[in-house]
């Protein structure tokens, strides 16, 4: 049943009709429970409220798979504006972005030009930037770009997905860069030739890479709503005397709000992934596909507002 739900939501995530409908009507019908408004000014208000509760943030201007240089440059401009607003309002927030929104599918020159502009702004205003991971076909390109940029900029990290067979090898390959990595399970529909089809194998691999990256001495963001993964991370912390300065938990805006606050109250760094913009539909469907229990969390989030 869980696999059927996952495939259903992944199918919906790519439906162009529903995507257009969501852009037009989404904020009238509840998108605001999982997306922090249509622009950075709206998002800044949400970030400030979260900061006041002891939560830190990473923001993401939603949009992906663009197909023109103009759109890619506009996306980079939006990221730079977000960095400037974070600095101006003294918000405790980082920035997350997707390579496809920066022109990954158009040209290497374009995506590097946009990324350097963004990372220059991040360096100027001391705002860390995370390169989100996308589907398998773009995985190697994304990691290659990350390595190139990490040799030039300190304030950049990326994401590793536990459902891919290659993940442990990627963790070991990146270790020489002392990378700040967000570890996730993965939310795209992939072939069993490249990804574990069974949830148990994905979970086991997730635990493996959490432990591996922490014991390598690198900063680790455990991005999961799964209590089993949260408790496993705490166990590694205790068993190996890991400093709480070396890791954080991450969850999505609008999901498990009470659990987020509990982790803050326990003395852990808890970062909320806050998306904004009107291109929210595909993002939300993938979150539901990633873990169908998120449906329950989303509904609870709506009624806790």
* Residues with catalytic function: 132, 182
**What is the Cα 260 distance to its own chain's centre?**
16
């Amino acid at each position: 049943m869980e696999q059927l739900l996952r495939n259903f939501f992944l199918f919906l995530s790519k439906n162009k009709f529903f995507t257009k409908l969501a852009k037009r009507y989404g904020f009238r019908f509840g998108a605001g429970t999982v997306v922090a408004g249509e622009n950075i000014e709206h998002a800044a208000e949400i970030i400030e409220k979260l900061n006041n509760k002891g939560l830190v943030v990473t923001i993401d201007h939603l949009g992906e798979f663009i197909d023109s240089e103009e759109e890619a440059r506009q996306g980079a401009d939006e990221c730079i504006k977000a960095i400037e607003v974070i600095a101006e309002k003294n918000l405790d927030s980082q920035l997350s972005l997707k390579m496809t929104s920066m022109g990954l599918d158009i040209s290497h020159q374009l995506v590097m030009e946009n990324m350097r502009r963004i990372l220059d702004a991040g360096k100027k205003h001391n705002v860390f930037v995370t390169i989100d991971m996308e589907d398998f076909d773009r995985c190697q390109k994304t990691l290659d770009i990350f390595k190139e940029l990490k040799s030039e900029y300190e304030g950049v990290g990326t994401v590793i997905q536990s459902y891919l067979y290659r993940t442990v090898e990627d963790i070991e390959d990146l270790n020489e860069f002392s990378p700040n990595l967000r570890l996730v399970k993965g939310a795209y529909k992939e072939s069993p030739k490249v990804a574990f089809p069974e949830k148990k194998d994905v979970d086991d691999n997730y635990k493996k890479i959490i432990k591996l990256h922490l014991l390598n001495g690198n900063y680790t963001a455990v991005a999961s709503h799964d209590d089993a993964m949260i408790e496993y991370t705490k166990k590694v912390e205790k068993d190996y005397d890991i400093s709480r300065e070396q890791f954080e938990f991450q969850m999505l805006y609008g999901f498990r709000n009470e659990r987020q606050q509990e982790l803050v109250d326990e003395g852990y760094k808890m970062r909320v992934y806050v998306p904004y913009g009107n291109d929210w539909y595909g993002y939300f469907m993938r979150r539901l596909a990633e873990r169908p229990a998120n449906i329950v969390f989303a509904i609870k989030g709506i009624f806790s507002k």
